[in-house]
Amino acid sequence: MIQTAGGWIVADMPYQRMKDYLDELDRRGLLRRIAAPVDRAWQPACLAKWMYQALPDDERFGLMFEHVIGSRIPLVTGALGASTHTYAAALEIEPDRINEKLMAALINPIAPRSVNTAPCQEIVNEGEKVRLSDLPIPTWTPGKDAAPYLTTIVVTRDANGGFQNMAVYRTQVLDDRSVVINLSPGRHGFRCVRSFLDQGKPAPIAWVIAAEPAVHIATVANLVYGSEEVHFAGGLKGEPIELVKATTIDLRVPAAAEIIIEGEIHPGETANEGPFGEFAGFMGPVGERPRARIRAITHRRDPIYYGYTSQMPPSESTVIQSLTNAGVILKLLRHDLGEHSVHDVHIDLTFGGLLAHGVVAMTPAYPGHGKRVGRILTDLTPLKRVTVVDADVDIRDPVHLEWAMNSRFDPARDTVIIDDVYFPLHMDPSIRTADGKLAPGSKMVIDATQKIDAGSFSLPPRDMMLKALDLWRDLGLPEFRIPRRAWLRIDKS
């Protein structure tokens, strides 16, 4: 790693395993190791909940529970998505270059490489030796969830196309050798599994625990069906992700992972899943979902267990999904649709990128351009609200965003309500009906770009403001970091 003037790192070599990344977080004080014994039934989850409920983004850190009672394996949560800072560290860049890196990797994906031996298979447990209870799988909403849950990457394969899909689908532990997965219709993992079951064959499925950070980040991207997330992950890592054939099923899994759980879903086998605390902040209902038989658990000699913290937002799940999908949307607008007027995209970090609030910074080229881009996004993405502002606004700064809304947005003229947009997401509580059925929801575009030139900013000229910085220092007033908002303003003063 190379230290920059800003205190951040630039990668000279990508992380080869999750442990490399955790060591780097440790060096920066962004990981807390907890040596005291913890009860996985409630303690790790409640501590993680306090971190997300009490601490602001830039003060949060990953948690490593070194001694989980009843397991020999440490449990990590929150390390990838504690904050924008940890997410940027996972990508081995500075926080202000996240979208740039995501776009570059989406445009230049790197295909995976097959290997014959893998660290994730140093130890292979089959038959009687398969015991999910050996893993430190926590209960995430203690007192309310049905059981402990795996919250990690799920690999499936399309029986016809042959391609593999990676996504995170929460998975409830039923007993030592069976689980039920929250696979809902429309999700790519569901389509893969169906492609086997429809032919009367068992569907292979694997859970990947703690792969290289690039794999985790790529996995939550909303890509089109058939576009393999592992290629995006390779682009992020800057080299091919190594895949190895699973030991008991026909799937290829990340070789550098800490732990792999291999399973099969047999035709007609389902179970009740839930209740479970969902990302929108409410308990999700019980539903019938595919059940899987676990055939093997393979792992490194010294494995680490990783589980994402989700439930009440903000959470690790909302941070990583929002940051990743902002990059996916920026690439869609600029690269796929040729909207070079768009400079930047941000999704609020509190709702997982789904149903959330997307903010676009752009330079409109003609009247109505802002509304048009907003409409496109509401159509092509699961965002519920899209706000469009000029490129002179820092879209990650709520103070600056509020100023743009107050000074450049006229509600009657600049709002577009798009009614009856059917988006089948039962976890949006705002459109749930009393009988539990799905109702059509609506979306909103706010065009807060400047429609006429409102004149000069009411700040002294740039030279004078910079001279006043010296005066500030000479007078011994407390030091401060100049926010991007201020630079954008004085640059135009």
Task: Count how many Cα atoms sit within 13 Å of the Cα of residue 173 in the half-sphere of its side chain.
Answer: 22
Please tell me whether residue 231 binds ligand FMN under the rule CB under 6 A.
no
Find the binder of ligand FMN among 187, 293, 426, 451 (CB under 6 A).
187
Q: Which value, in Å, is the radius of gyration of the alpha carbons in the chain?
A: 24
Q: By the 8 A CB rule, do 24 and 9 touch?
A: yes
Cβ 278 to ligand FMN shortest distance, Å: 8
> Do the Cβ atoms of 396 and 346 come closer than 8 Å?
yes
- Min dist CB 307 to ligand FMN, Å, is 8
Residue 208's region, left for phi above 0, alpha for psi from -120 to 50, else beta, is beta
Residue 256 CA to residue 299 CA, distance in Å, equals 10
Among 298, 321, 381, 387, binds ligand FMN (CB under 6 A): 321
Q: Which stretch binds ligand FMN (CB under 6 A): 166-174, 328-336, 391-399, 481-489?
A: 166-174
- Ranges within 269-308 binding ligand FMN (CB under 6 A): 308
Q: Token pair of 352, please?
A: 């997982």
Q: What is the dihedral of CA 457, 458, 462, 464, to 10 degrees?
A: 170
DSSP-assigned letter for residue 478: P
| Residue 259 touching ligand FMN (CB under 6 A) | no
Contacting range for ligand FMN; rule: CB under 6 A; set: 101-109, 313-321, 466-474, 483-491: 313-321
On whether the CB atoms of residues 355 and 425 are closer than 8 A, the answer is yes
Q: Is 322 in the site for ligand FMN (CB under 6 A)?
A: no
Answer whether 253's CB lies under 8 Å from 120's CB.
yes
In the 8-state DSSP scheme, what is residue 163? -
Find the binder of ligand FMN among 109, 136, 189, 290 (CB under 6 A).
189
Helices (H), 243-396: 316-331, 369-380
Shorter beta-carbon distance to ligand FMN: residue 169 or 207: 169
220 is a contact residue toward ligand FMN (CB under 6 A): yes
Contact between 169 and ligand FMN per CB under 6 A: yes
473 DSSP 8-state letter: H
Contact window for ligand FMN (CB under 6 A) among 58-66, 99-107, 164-172, 466-474: 164-172
Q: Which of 30, 132, 150, 167 binds ligand FMN (CB under 6 A)?
A: 167
| Residue 310 lies near ligand FMN (rule: CB under 6 A) | yes
User: Exposed (0-12), middle (13-18) or buried (19+): which is 56, by Cβ within 10 Å?
Assistant: exposed
The answer to the question of residue 151 lying near ligand FMN (CB under 6 A) is yes
Position among 121, 139, 141, 182 found at the interface with ligand FMN (CB under 6 A): 182
- Options 49, 157, 188, 375; binder of ligand FMN; rule CB under 6 A: 188
* 380 versus 405: smaller Cβ distance to ligand FMN: 380
79 near ligand FMN, judged by CB under 6 A: no
Smallest separation (angstroms) from ligand FMN to the CB of 267? 21
Q: Which of 296, 293, 233, 229 is nearest to 260 (CA)?
A: 296
Q: Is 137 in the site for ligand FMN (CB under 6 A)?
A: no
Asked if 361 and 390 touch (Cβ cutoff 8 Å), the reply is yes
Size of the site for ligand FMN (CB under 6 A): 19
Instruction: At 378, list the tokens.
Output: 């509401």
What residues make contact with ligand FMN under the rule CB under 6 A? 151, 165, 167-170, 182, 184, 187-189, 220-222, 308, 310, 317, 320-321
